[in-house]
Structure 1
Amino acid sequence: MSKRLFRSIIFILLTSTVVAQNDSVKVQREYNTVQLPIGEEIIIDGELSDKAWGNVIWDDDFTVFEPDNGKKASQRTKFKIAYDAKFIYVGIRCFDSIPDKIEKRLARRDNFSGDWIEVNIDSYNDKRTAFSFNVSAAGVKGDEFISQNGDFWDASWNPIWYTAANIDEEGWTAEMKIPFSQLKFGAAEEQVWGLQIHRRYFRGEERSIWQPISLEAPGWVSEFGRLNGLKNIEPQKQLEIQPFLVNQFDSYPSETGNPFRDGKDYILNAGLDAKIGLTNDLTLDLTVNPDFGQVDADPGAIALDGFQIFFEERRPFFIENKNIFDYEFADGNDNVFYSRRIGRSPQGYADVTENEFVDQPTNSTILGAAKFSGKTKNGWSLGLLESVTGKMYADIEDVAGNKRSELVEPLTNYMVGRVQKDFNERNSYLGGIFTATNRNLPNHLEFLRSGAYTGGLDFKHNWKNRNYYVEGNIVGSHVVGSEEAIARTQNSITHLFQRIDAGHVSVDDTRTSLTGTGGKIEIGKAGGGNWRYDGGIIWRSPELELNDIGFLRQADEIKQTASVSRLFIKPTNFYRRANMELSQYSTYDFDGNYNRIQYQFEGFINYKNNWWTEVGAAHKPRIFSNTVLRGGPRWRWSDENFAYLFFGSDSRKKLSFTLGYVNSQAAENNFSLARYVFRLYYQPFDAFNLSISSEFEENPNKTQYVTETNFNGDARYITGNIDQKTFSTSIRFNYSINPNLSIQYYGEPFISRGTYTDFNYVNNPIAEKLNERVTLFSDNQISKSTSTDDYLIDEDFDGAIDYQIENPDFSYVQFRSNLVLRWEYVPGSEIFLVWSQGVVGAGNPSETLGRNLDQQILGQKKDNTFLLKATYRFIL
């Protein structure tokens, strides 16, 4: 271990032992509810006029959370809570001194616009997770599952509940009716739940709360008040069955002679989702032939570094309760469980001749999946997921009409098991995870791993009112397969065991398994006062492999991190709040190479008028990479500096915007980046909103990797000067006829173009000076073929071609759009009418982005999909 790394660890441990001397004592508020008498009923119309409300008392005295934390709220709020055998009821009165100016913006579910009120219930009483129910003055419903003590809010959680709002001469009122079956709690004679009521007073952009929480607090859920009086509630075992029917018609440009592209397809699909409450706090989710259609396509992206691209999960079955299965063991997106592996694109391709046509499946079919998950009153979080994807075949037909099929993805079983246990009065937890992937492989798919297994342990301990914490985890992986599969794994960009200058790894073509470890340890201060800090160590051993059911970008790394931040939480005449942070990290590989160090500053300020500015800058005096040359020697980049500036207007206004600029510059003009960002939001009237987000990026690089070739028996690594430009724009609009009926549009063109000049070969990859790292080909060494588009290289000037490289110029064009009519005709049951358009292709690299946009997107016939989907949720 280097002296620099040792000193960093000592600094982190010493600074983390500091404790605050003046911790404030939190006074926990309580609300005592009562059960409604038999026969008395509350009708959910938003008017609070039912006689049954007289059985419970009002509570108020809300204080400001932001901006003037702790002060009395400028507008009064009061609420009541009652319950019966199956439901909990919340009635809220939001007083407003100018009722005509209450902002009542219509939107789709989970769009939190205008004035709203939010009820947070920690029915587990674990001080880490909660259920959030929100309604706006316009009656728009929102709901989220809160985890990580308020750090993560999952809007994909869509329980069945009932709400309404009404505006009157005193302000506005709201009623909520929440089934106990949608909450999770253990059996007890009297329940004690965490409770918070949170109001947004839109006009003054003031957030007020029932239970006071300091902005110095280490979290959200842990600071809740208490809801008492819930006596003898019988746990409601959830039983919901939701069949669906999808009727789909596809039209697209036909291809002459191709039987699989005749211009149209028709698909009728049906399936079933079910949710079974085994107990009130543990649920079994089942799906048969699931429909994983989604409104938004994945954003356009292109990766010249060779690494896989991470995409967010959008499928409801995998999103619900995903916090229980989450195991982010390091940093970035690395995770033991990455659900997008299930149903992935087939990894094999059909072997065809020139006279054959292929219909290649785009995704693997999920035959079925089951998920058991929940949390018990004793603090046990439990999760078990099992899924099977079927064999996928590519259909092949030749010009004579002969047909055959070829297996491109094997039958695969995925399993994930997760457990966590809270203890120490919910201030600590200890957990574990286990995953398994097993494939039934025929001979021609033995390049895939036959099995992959991971296991891990994680923990977190909070102390001093949760202001201080230490957390960590460890992961172990074991993958097995044929010699071909394991050699392929060793040579993949995640591992690169073939690196010619690596002294600690090498490719062994006889191996049939790999075993690795990874993990992190972090300690820091999360609350109390205006200062926060943390520091830690992350590692990924060379043989760690998670990509069968997890996500791992790069193995063989040790990373040290440290950061300190200052919060400015007391408003002034200039700002509402602000913060700034200094951070530093350095990386090493397991061969002892010191690869990188970075120092970074970030700052944010929210001005008094609700405009804001975000700035940042970083210095990277040392940048080495083991992956740039894709198995070649370690590479050095020139020193880099980068900075960014974003600012935006008040997001409450009918018209708001964000402008941003990012600039990165390496020494000797090795590479640079200039990114321009523009975002616009416009809501001309309450029922309609439009948003546009555009980015333009220029990213030239004098040493962009091109290929590896051979010269006189030695490896030769070719790079070039790339001029890369990328443009993307996403456009969205939403028109809400009422809170349950809306029309939404999403469209995004994406264009990326790269042209190469000044080809060169790597000479001394770790030289400090750029001209010593690479040698530029002269005009006498490189020429372009007259018969192909390849470049011909005569490196030794003997008049004979030593090697050739393919022209790496590219232009990638993608367009995706969706127009969706959504109608929730009864709670939990929906009808979708969808029109999707798309085109993917290659433009002309010599043309401008604008001309490629015109020719490849606007001027091309597009694939069209018309879809009708209907669901009905039976609650039994």
Structure 2
Amino acid sequence: MIDRLCMVFILMTSFSIIGQKDSANIVKRTYTTAVLPHDIHIVIDGDLSDDGWNVVEWDGGFTVFDPNNGEPPSQRTKFKITYDDRFLYVAVRCYDSVPSNIEKRLARRDNFAGDWIEINIDSYNDKRTGFSFNVSAAGVKGDEFISRNGDYWDDSWNPIWYTAANIDDEGWTAEMKIPFSQLKFGKKQEQVWGLQLNRRYFRGEERSLWQPMQRDAPGWVSEFGMLKGLIDIQPQKQLEIQPFVVNQFDTYPAEENNPFRDGDDFRLNGGLDAKIGITNDLTLDLTVNPDFGQVDADPGAIALDGFQIFFEERRPFFIENKNIFDYEFADGNDNLFYSRRIGRDPQGFVVGNDVGFVDQPKNSTILGAAKFSGKTKNGWSLGLLESVTGNMYAEVQDTLGGRRKELVEPLTNYLVGRVQKDFNDRNSFVGGIFTATNRNLPDNLDFLRKEAYSGGFDFRHSWKERNYYLEGNLVGSHIVGSEEAIERTQKSITHLFQRVDAGHVEVDSNRTSLSGTGGKLEAGKAGGGNWRYNGGVIWRSPELELNDVGFLRQADEIKQYASLRRLFLRPTNFFRTAQMELEQYTTYDFEGNYNRIQYEFQGFINYKNNWWTEVGAAHKPRIYSNTVLRGGPRWRWSEENFWYLFFGSDARKKFNFTLGYVNSQAAEDNFSLVRYVLRFNYQPFDAFSLSVSSEYEENPNKTQYVMEASFNNTPRYVTANIDQRTFNTSIRFNYSLNSNLSIQYYGEPFISRGTYTDFNYVEDPIAEKLKDRVTLYSDGQISRINGGSSYMVDEDIDGVTDYEIEDPDFSYVQFRSNLVLRWEYVPGSEIFLVWSQGVVGFGDPTETLGRNLDNQILGQKKENTFLLKATYRFIL
């Protein structure tokens, strides 16, 4: 492994000294604003005739960013900026030679459709973060918080500001009025902020910028020009209070004799969100009894490998300022903070011979949460989050008709602290994170961990105009609990200390704590010229555990990786842009087992007509897994090859589509995957849009894990040939009556069916040939009684059943939908009217997907939720 790492860094060093041409030095532009006289006012109506605009000069000189970088744009753009003691005012004139062809598509907030103009402001002047305000020719507003030098744009940030647009015979105009309270800056006599304006000319699919920028730049915010002339503006502490009230009515199929499922429920709920400016830089967000009823349902998913499924955060309180709290320390979704743990499904359950009916809560109630976050003028990014979820009880009716409550989720406190500090002229930063989870555990929930702590240190250093970088992190975890809780952790699929052939880990049933480490070290080239590359190493020790308030899929892994990418940034007569990339990685466990190596190629091309193609292929000559047999010995898969091809039409058109195909094949037909993808968007008129995304896949596997049995006091690992087929479709439409009133629908049917045949048991799990890895049961060894739900195995054929295999066939069906009317009746205050439907069921595995769709979704009475939520945002 050391030889491989040395080779990676030698290659990286070699490429760094090849005569590549870095970005040419571009002169930073400056716009100098002036204060608006107290007796002059600007009305935000899209009309630029107000006298207030005469106090400042126009600036223009935009240049093309994409596609013909550096050339004059097809249409001219100019702007003005002025201010008073509370607001920043922006006026933009977007010339258009054919005003009747300006694309003015209506959409919900933060849907950037048609022609638009955007202003980006780096009021911290840290060259990494910024605030983005966008308005389309139809008057639809958008706003995002920019972080990681443009790598992350958070559209959940919804500040209060004012804008309007107007189309005239010269093109179209836009006005913006941005409160200083929505920006963050320190106290100085003169503010110097980063500034960029970005125009999308829709017909030509052209982006033009005020501050010229090379396509090979290493970032976005670091390339901004400067805004000067802001004299003696005072930082303004933000104080916003947003109470809400919710009426909810649920209907569902009644269950006979079940007192908890009588057909309908009604509840009235209320809560409060608040935003308090401690300083102009730092904000305290509070929420009491939050409601997330208008949030989209999670997509359907099923995991046969036993690992947990990662779902994106959708709840507004946790999404806002998410970038400050993120600590992605490895690859994939591994993170020290995974906010979906807060308010999770209760982990306890009710059992007993006297249990009749149970009313199990669907999620844990968040009693309250507070989030202190922001960034100071000195380059300190700070974040502190505290949340408490309450005791959750399942209500039980016993077989004699008596009632009682049982605790299924304890009172739990979550704490997350995050800090980063910029230095070296904002080219470098160091940071840290600390998390704590503490549960008030009674005896019946002693299988949960009582305490869980994690911490980390991270850094990034960039040099040579930020084109080169070195970054890394180090994390540690410590969990405390009962002997049962720690033993369950050791045996979980994340760890599997019980693996029979592992010499470096073993289950210790007397332990009451566990500590582990992980980390990452990476170096590479992020900008300048046409080449990009990186390489590094990631490790997760066997004892690392983050799943109390973080996300960790698998521990006990060391991974080396490297990639090399070639960009084609200058348009030709054939394409606008293109790129090719080569990737390679290997993995080991902490015992030194060499588990995997993969080589992959990826390519992308955006043609001159804005159609595009994406293609990729990979070869995996070595695939070993420590987890397939769920605590059994290390398993070998046959070598695998896969490839994919996607292509799509011009996304600007009223109808556009994507077609995709994925094919994976393992040697000896060990397993395979075939996936078909169809996506399309249709916007027949400006106010209405429809999108559909469908996938169908077939995923057969001759050695799908089924169970572990005991034969003659030795473990027997049973696998089988599975024929798995999955279909899902997500449907969305949006109808906008105006820029503040819209109706949106989301629906997704999900069906997955698996049937098992050719049962077999593991003979030699790391044999080269598949026929040597497993042995098929003969007809005399396995049988199934008519109508029975299990297979009987008489392995030694002595007439006595040695063990049973419960029928693993399945057909899982789920449907979720939301119909939401959203009205922002005043800026920042909203009314939601929501109708949600859902059904979850189990179909007949012997039936087709289509018949199960008909029987279990179309033919079933669904659960309905009708919700009315009203908020009002007080600005004090």
Verify same fold: TM over 0.5.
yes
Counterpart code for 1:562? A
Query: Which residue pairs with 2:465 in the alignment?
Result: 465
Whether the 8 Å CA contact 2:253–2:862 is kept in 1: the answer is yes
TM-superposed deviation, 1:399: 4.7
Written as runs of structure 1 = structure 2, the 5 A alignment for 1:321-332 is 321-332=321-332
Counterpart code for 1:251? T
Written as runs of structure 1 = structure 2, the 5 A alignment for 1:163-562 is 163-353=163-353, 356-562=356-562
Whether the 8 Å CA contact 1:16–1:523 is kept in 2: the answer is no
Structure 1 residue ranges (4+ consecutive) displaced by more than 6 angstroms after TM superposition: none
Counterpart code for 1:315? R
Name the CA distance, whole Å, in 2 between partners of 1:294 and 1:628. 38
TM-score, reference length from structure 2 = 0.99
Counterpart code for 1:725? R
Whether the 8 Å CA contact 2:294–2:832 is kept in 1: the answer is no
Query: Which residue pairs with 1:568 in the alignment?
Result: 568
Counterpart code for 1:784? R
TM-superposed deviation, 1:82: 0.4
1:324 match: secondary structure? helix
Query: Which residue pairs with 1:145 in the alignment?
Result: 145
Q: CA RMSD in A?
A: 1.1
Counterpart code for 2:859? G
Query: Which has the higher mean CA deviation after the structures are superposed, 396-405 or 374-383?
Result: 396-405
Whether the 8 Å CA contact 1:650–1:656 is kept in 2: the answer is yes
Whether the 8 Å CA contact 1:245–1:269 is kept in 2: the answer is yes
The answer as to 2:734 corresponding to 1:714 is no
Whether the 8 Å CA contact 2:474–2:520 is kept in 1: the answer is yes
Residues 2 and 429 of structure 1, relative CA distance in 2, 3 Å threshold: closer
Whether the 8 Å CA contact 2:293–2:867 is kept in 1: the answer is no
Name the CA distance, whole Å, in 2 between partners of 1:163 and 1:324. 28
1:856 match: secondary structure? helix
TM-superposed deviation, 1:10: 4.5
TM-superposed deviation, 1:869: 0.3
Whether the 8 Å CA contact 2:135–2:165 is kept in 1: the answer is yes
Whether the 8 Å CA contact 1:790–1:805 is kept in 2: the answer is yes
The answer as to 2:803 corresponding to 1:800 is no
Name the CA distance, whole Å, in 2 between partners of 1:402 and 1:228. 74
Written as runs of structure 1 = structure 2, the 5 A alignment for 1:3-152 is 3-12=3-12, 15=15, 20=20, 23-152=23-152
Name the CA distance, whole Å, in 1 between partners of 2:794 and 2:345. 41
TM-superposed deviation, 1:785: 2.5
TM-superposed deviation, 1:11: 3.9
1:144 match: secondary structure? strand
1:181 match: secondary structure? helix
Query: Which residue pairs with 1:581 in the alignment?
Result: 581
Residues 828 and 485 of structure 1, relative CA distance in 2, 3 Å threshold: same
TM-superposed deviation, 1:16: 5.2
Written as runs of structure 1 = structure 2, the 5 A alignment for 1:717-732 is 717-732=717-732
Name the CA distance, whole Å, in 2 between partners of 1:456 and 1:701. 40
Name the CA distance, whole Å, in 2 between partners of 1:663 and 1:827. 49
Query: Which residue pairs with 2:673 in the alignment?
Result: 673
Name the CA distance, whole Å, in 2 between partners of 1:3 and 1:460. 25
Name the CA distance, whole Å, in 1 between partners of 2:8 and 2:176. 52
Counterpart code for 1:783? S
1:715 match: secondary structure? strand
Name the CA distance, whole Å, in 1 between partners of 2:539 and 2:318. 28
Name the CA distance, whole Å, in 1 between partners of 2:221 and 2:814. 42
Whether the 8 Å CA contact 1:567–1:580 is kept in 2: the answer is yes
Counterpart code for 1:629? L
Query: Which residue pairs with 1:741 in the alignment?
Result: 741
Name the CA distance, whole Å, in 1 between partners of 2:251 and 2:197. 50
Whether the 8 Å CA contact 1:252–1:864 is kept in 2: the answer is yes
Whether the 8 Å CA contact 1:295–1:820 is kept in 2: the answer is no
Gaps of 5+ in 2: none
TM-superposed deviation, 1:778: 1.1
Name the CA distance, whole Å, in 2 between partners of 1:509 and 1:250. 45
* 1:432-451 C-alpha deviation (Å, 9 max, x unpaired): 00000000101111100000
Whether the 8 Å CA contact 2:558–2:587 is kept in 1: the answer is yes
Name the CA distance, whole Å, in 2 between partners of 1:96 and 1:851. 54
Name the CA distance, whole Å, in 2 between partners of 1:31 and 1:2. 52
TM-superposed deviation, 1:779: 1.1
TM-superposed deviation, 1:354: 5.9
Counterpart code for 1:687? A
Name the CA distance, whole Å, in 2 between partners of 1:600 and 1:787. 48
Counterpart code for 2:376? T
* 1:651-700 C-alpha deviation (Å, 9 max, x unpaired): 10011100000000000000000000000110010000111100000000
Counterpart code for 2:201? Y
Name the CA distance, whole Å, in 1 between partners of 2:763 and 2:134. 62
Whether the 8 Å CA contact 1:386–1:415 is kept in 2: the answer is yes
Residues 843 and 183 of structure 1, relative CA distance in 2, 3 Å threshold: same
Residues 611 and 337 of structure 1, relative CA distance in 2, 3 Å threshold: same
Residues 465 and 610 of structure 1, relative CA distance in 2, 3 Å threshold: same
Name the CA distance, whole Å, in 1 between partners of 2:108 and 2:4. 53
TM-superposed deviation, 1:788: 2.4
TM-superposed deviation, 1:800: 1.4
Whether the 8 Å CA contact 1:250–1:265 is kept in 2: the answer is yes
Name the CA distance, whole Å, in 2 between partners of 1:182 and 1:155. 15
Gaps of 5+ in 1: none
Query: Which residue pairs with 2:872 in the alignment?
Result: 872
Whether the 8 Å CA contact 1:696–1:725 is kept in 2: the answer is yes
Whether the 8 Å CA contact 1:294–1:314 is kept in 2: the answer is no
Whether the 8 Å CA contact 2:677–2:693 is kept in 1: the answer is yes
2:856 match: secondary structure? helix
1:490 match: secondary structure? helix
1:485 match: secondary structure? helix
Name the CA distance, whole Å, in 1 between partners of 2:759 and 2:479. 39
Name the CA distance, whole Å, in 2 between partners of 1:145 and 1:836. 30
Query: Which residue pairs with 1:700 in the alignment?
Result: 700
TM-superposed deviation, 1:236: 0.7
TM-superposed deviation, 1:400: 3.9
Name the CA distance, whole Å, in 1 between partners of 2:353 and 2:83. 70
Residues 620 and 724 of structure 1, relative CA distance in 2, 3 Å threshold: same
TM-superposed deviation, 1:582: 0.3
Counterpart code for 2:320? E
TM-superposed deviation, 1:25: 1.2
Whether the 8 Å CA contact 2:642–2:662 is kept in 1: the answer is yes
Counterpart code for 1:402? G
Query: Which has the higher mean CA deviation after the structures are superposed, 133-142 or 783-792?
Result: 783-792
1:222 match: secondary structure? helix
TM-superposed deviation, 1:506: 0.3
TM-superposed deviation, 1:39: 1.5
Name the CA distance, whole Å, in 1 between partners of 2:355 and 2:416. 44
2:332 match: secondary structure? coil
1:53 match: secondary structure? helix
TM-superposed deviation, 1:120: 0.5
Whether the 8 Å CA contact 2:21–2:529 is kept in 1: the answer is no
